[in-house]
């Protein structure tokens, strides 16, 4: 890894003439200031070290509290969050919490959920919750995007087939109709009920642990700018529009 990075930097910035005779293999060139000096690659190594430092910049945390059939949630996912995530997933950690305004009570050792848009919404929440628990997020989010585009309560298998995830469908279905999904959905309820301040509507966006009206309204109008402006590191290409840095939107954080 180190070797490849050093080589790619040398390819970009040109190989200094001294390098070949410095007596150290390339994977050690950036291992100490003395060696980089000896090998004539100090500049390249300092660049490489600063690039490494970038990876320590914390990801922007974008939490979405929503429910599967709410039109505003669907709109936020389809027109804002998902397209933004596709562009800048390297700088954002998205957490989806499909529960929203649902309610739960325990009955016979099981949670009984009541959902704002009826039982179908509860099914959709369960399916999405199980997808999030079974698949890595980079597979789960496209799947959920598909469900939100079609019908979260009925199109699971169809969406699985579109994304080549049919082999996961039986376990997702089993989860969503069984005790595992019931308990995972309860976790979503607990997470939602722990919000401070408590959510008053859905979709409800929490950015880096904070919910306020400015964050919410920018999430709904330009989630990409919201994420890019909140990121403390060097902005990735996905933050630019047609090759130019987007004009700074009002700074929130
Ligand atoms: C994203 O956030 C979750 C929950 O806060 C955390 O467990 C996970 O490690 C984070 N992922 C990354 C890549 O930072
Ligand atoms: C579950 O909740 C629904 C809606 O409130 C209610 O009609 C149903 O009787 C409840 N079922 C159980 C087993 O408590």
CA of 111 to the centre of ligand 2 (A): 10
Structure tokens at 169: 């469908």
The β-bridge relationship of strands 103-107 and 110-114 is: antiparallel
Round the average pLDDT of the chain to a whole number and report it: 87
Distance, C-alpha 149 to centroid of its chain: 19
Rounded to an integer, what distance in angstroms lies between the CA atom of residue 137 and that of residue 131?
Answer: 9
pLDDT tens-digit profile of 133-159?
Answer: 999 999 999 999 999 999 999 999 999
Bridge partners, 92 (sequence order): 60
Rounded to an integer, what distance in angstroms lies between the CA atom of residue 158 and that of residue 95?
Answer: 24
Phi, psi of 55 (to 5 degrees): -70, -10
Spatial CB neighbours of 55, under 8 Å, sequence gap ≥ 6: none
Going by the DSSP 8-state scheme, the letter that residue 32 receives in this structure is: -
Give me the long-range contacts of 172-175 (CB less than 8 A, separation at least 24). Answer: 172/127, 172/130, 172/131, 172/134, 175/126, 175/130, 175/133, 175/134
CB 127 within 8 A of CB 156: yes
CA of 112 to the centre of ligand 2 (A): 6
Bridge partners, 104 (sequence order): 113
Which residues' Cβ are closer than 6 Å to ligand 2? Answer: 107, 112, 114
- Nearest ligand to the C-alpha atom of residue 122: 2
Which residues' Cβ are closer than 6 Å to ligand 1? Answer: 59, 93, 95
Task: Count CB-CB contacts under 10 A for residue 237.
Answer: 9
Residue given tokens 């200031």 in the structure block:
33
Q: Ligand 2, atom 14: nearest CA belongs to which residue?
A: 107
- Nearest ligand to the C-alpha atom of residue 106: 2
pLDDT tier for residue 249 given thresholds of 50, 70 and 90: very low
* Domains in the chain with CATH codes: 2-56 (no CATH), 60-239 (3.40.30.10)
Residue 52 pLDDT: 56
Among candidates 51, 87, 57, which has minimal Cα distance to 231? 57
Rounded to an integer, what distance in angstroms lies between the CA atom of residue 187 and that of residue 100?
Answer: 12
CA of 59 to the centre of ligand 1 (A): 9
Whole-angstrom Cα Rg for the chain: 23
pLDDT tens-digit profile of 44-92?
Answer: 877 766 665 556 899 999 999 999 999 999 999 999 999 999 999 999 9
Structure tokens at 233: 């590191």
pLDDT tens-digit profile of 22-52?
Answer: 887 776 676 667 777 888 888 887 776 666 5
Residue 51 pLDDT: 67
Going by the DSSP 8-state scheme, the letter that residue 135 receives in this structure is: S
Instruction: State yes or no: pLDDT of 231 exceeds 60.
Output: yes
- Nearest ligand to the C-alpha atom of residue 208: 1
- 107 burial (CB, 10 Å; 0-12 / 13-18 / 19+) is exposed
């Amino acid at each position: 890894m180190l070797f490849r990075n050093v080589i790619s930097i040398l390819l970009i910035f040109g190989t200094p003439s001294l390098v070949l005779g410095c007596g150290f293999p390339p994977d050690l060139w950036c291992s100490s200031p003395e060696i980089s000096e000896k090998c004539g690659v100090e500049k390249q190594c300092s660049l490489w070290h600063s690039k490494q430092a970038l990876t320590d910049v914390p990801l922007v945390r974008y939490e979405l509290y929503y429910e599967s059939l709410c039109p505003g949630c669907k709109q936020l996912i389809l027109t804002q969050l998902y397209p933004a995530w596709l562009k800048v997933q390297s700088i954002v950690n998205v957490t989806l919490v499909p529960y929203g305004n649902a309610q739960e009570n325990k009955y016979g050792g099981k949670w009984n959920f009541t959902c704002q848009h009826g039982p179908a919404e509860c099914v959709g929440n369960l399916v999405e919750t199980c997808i999030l628990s079974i698949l890595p997020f980079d597979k789960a989010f496209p799947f959920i995007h598909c469900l939100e585009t079609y019908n979260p309560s009925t199109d699971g298998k169809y969406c699985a087939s579109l994304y080549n995830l049919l082999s996961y469908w039986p376990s997702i279905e089993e989860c969503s109709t069984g005790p595992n999904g019931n308990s995972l959905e309860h976790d979503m309820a607990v997470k939602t009920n722990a919000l401070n301040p408590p959510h008053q509507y859905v979709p409800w966006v929490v950015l880096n642990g904070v919910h306020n009206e400015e964050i919410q309204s920018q999430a709904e109008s330009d989630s990409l700018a919201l994420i890019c402006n909140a990121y403390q590191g060097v902005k990735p290409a996905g933050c630019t529009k047609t090759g130019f840095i987007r004009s700074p939107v009002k700074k929130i954080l």
